[in-house]
Amino acid sequence: MTRTLFSEAGLSLEFAEEFYSVSRRDVIRGMHFQAPPQDHVKLVYCPVGAVLDVLLDLRSGPGYGRFASVTLSADDPHVLVIPKGVAHGFRSLTNDSMLIYKTSTEYAPSYDRGLRWDSFGFDWGDAVPVLSDRDRTHPKFSSFDSPF
Which of 40, 101, 107, 111 is the catalytic position?
101
Name the H helices within 12-147. 133-136
Active site annotation includes 78: no
pLDDT at residue 57 in the model: 98
**Residue 12 scores a pLDDT above 80:** no
Which of 32, 40, 88, 138 is the catalytic position?
32
Which residues are bridge partners to 43 per DSSP?
Answer: 81, 102
**Residue 128 scores a pLDDT above 90:** no
Active site annotation includes 138: no
- Report the candidate in 143, 141, 82 with the shortest Cα–Cα distance to residue 116: 141
pTM comes to: 0.92
Question: Within the chain, what is the greatest distance between any pair of CA atoms?
Answer: 42
Residue-wise pLDDT for 32-47, tens only, equals 999 999 999 999 999 9
Any idea where the domains of the chain sit in the sequence?
Answer: 14-109
Superfamily of the domain at 14-109: Jelly Rolls (2.60.120.10)
Q: What is the pLDDT confidence band of residue 8, given thresholds at 50, 70 and 90?
A: confident
pLDDT at residue 14 in the model: 84
Q: What is the pLDDT confidence band of residue 7, given thresholds at 50, 70 and 90?
A: low
Residue-wise pLDDT for 63-114, tens only, equals 999 999 999 999 999 999 999 999 999 999 999 999 999 999 999 999 999 9
Specify whether the backbone of 125 is left (phi greater than 0), alpha (psi in -120 to 50) or beta.
Answer: left
